[in-house]
Amino acid sequence: MSKSLLLRLHRWVALTFALPLLAVIATGLILSFEPIVVQSAIEPGSVSVQTVEGLLQRYDPQGTARAIVLRPNENTLTVNGVQPGGSVTLDLRTGEPVARTTRSLSDMFGTARQIHEHLLLRAGWLVTASTMAMLALIALGIFMGWPRLRNTLPGWHKGVGWFLLPLVILSPLTGLLLAFGISLAPAPAPASASGPPLPLREAVRVLAVEHDLSSLSWIRPLGRNLVARVAEDGEMRTYALNREGAVPMARSWPRLIHEGNWGGSALAILNLVTSVALLGLLLSGSWIWLRRQLRRSSGRQRVAKTT
């Protein structure tokens, strides 16, 4: 296949998926800041089991809640499944409900995640197709061969693509694995069917035996188990909570790498660099095409005036 045909394919695949790719990459750039924000906001020892249990006892006396979400950057605890109302967000300092008068940083990250995964239109299939298109663009760029690097916009476009090639490949590849539910982790052992599910308050106590609750991200149901996600040593670890204790679950490497939740701030910064690079490649490639079209249009107009 000739280089000109590869270039044409590269151009038209990019133009076809330009808008969904712009949404996915731009929201990915926003989400790249989330691990940095969350990790930097954690204050070890700042959340005690007595505090969490007290809030659950106060706002969920019937024990209907099945999930909690801790946001250290906002110092709030959200209890989901509380009746009536469904959920309540509490200030950890005062223990009082938080009045949501303005959108918080967590709301912004949540909206960005919805767009990143579904484009807010329940169009997860389009996100998956756009991710596959991104990998196809990378493959076409590789097959076109090593470019001659120059201090021009096309030269920078090609140089960024080649010198950051491992990062540029890893981001959409791990995203595609997540889209297809591939975790590269062994299947979890089946949960024991004996006994009732662990109550949420007891799950909090089980987790607090060996883990700092200030590093908790959430506790929520997964099958018959309650599962906790905890920030430890620069990594988001998950634990199945049962009456025997907090049992470490297998790592989902695609998720850890894609979200930048492994290896401390280094991987989060690399994710940020990757998002900037992908956004730069998309915008520069689109501008190169648009500029070429404008030149051709201007050339045809000049020819028309001289005839």
Rounded to the nearest 10 degrees, what angle do helices 124-143 and 18-31 cross at?
100
pLDDT band for position 187 (cuts 50, 70, 90): low
What would the mean pLDDT of 69-95 be, rounded to a whole number?
91
Domain boundaries, the chain: 3-36+106-184+263-279, 48-91+186-250
Residue 177 reports pLDDT greater than 90: yes
Residue 145 has a pLDDT of 86
pLDDT digits (tens, 9 = 90+) for 85-125: 689 999 999 999 998 767 788 999 999 999 999 998 889 99
Residue 189 has a pLDDT of 56
DSSP code of residue 97: B
Residue 52 reports pLDDT greater than 80: yes
Q: How many CB atoms sit inside 10 A of residue 134's CB?
A: 27
Residue 193 has a pLDDT of 45
Residue 2 has a pLDDT of 85
Residue 176: alpha-carbon gap to chain centroid: 12
Q: Give the β-pairing of 235-242 and 245-248.
A: antiparallel
Positive or negative, the CA dihedral 220, 262, 73, 113 is: negative
**Cβ contact 63:200 at 8 Å:** yes
What would the mean pLDDT of 262-289 be, rounded to a whole number?
93
Q: For residues 18 and 255, what is the distance between their CA atoms, to the nearest angstrom?
A: 25
* Range with top average pLDDT, 67-76, 83-92, 142-151: 67-76
Residue 183 has a pLDDT of 87
Q: Which residues of 50-84 are buried (b: 16+ CB within 10 A; e: fewer)?
A: ebbbebbeebbeeeebbbbbbbbbbbbbbbbbbee
Query: Which amino acid, one-letter code, is at 229?
Result: R
Q: Report the share of the chain in percent with pLDDT over 90.
A: 73
Residue 28 has a pLDDT of 97
Q: Which residues of 202-236 are buried (b: 16+ CB within 10 A; e: fewer)?
A: bbbebbbeebbbbbbbbbbeeeebbbbbbbeeebb
Residue 44 reports pLDDT greater than 80: yes
- pTM value is 0.90
The answer for residues whose C-beta is within 8 angstroms of residue 187's C-beta and 6 or more apart is none
Rounded to the nearest 10 degrees, what angle do helices 124-143 and 3-16 cross at?
160
Residue 121 has a pLDDT of 82
pLDDT band for position 190 (cuts 50, 70, 90): low
Residue 99 has a pLDDT of 81
For tokens 């906001």, the residue is 41
Q: Can you list the positions of beta strands (E) in 108-234?
A: 216-222, 225-232
The answer for residues whose C-beta is within 8 angstroms of residue 154's C-beta and 6 or more apart is 288
**Cβ contact 213:204 at 8 Å:** yes
Residue 263 has a pLDDT of 84
Residue 305 has a pLDDT of 73
pLDDT digits (tens, 9 = 90+) for 211-261: 999 999 999 998 888 999 999 988 999 999 998 899 999 999 999 999 999
Residue 219 has a pLDDT of 97
Residue 82 has a pLDDT of 86
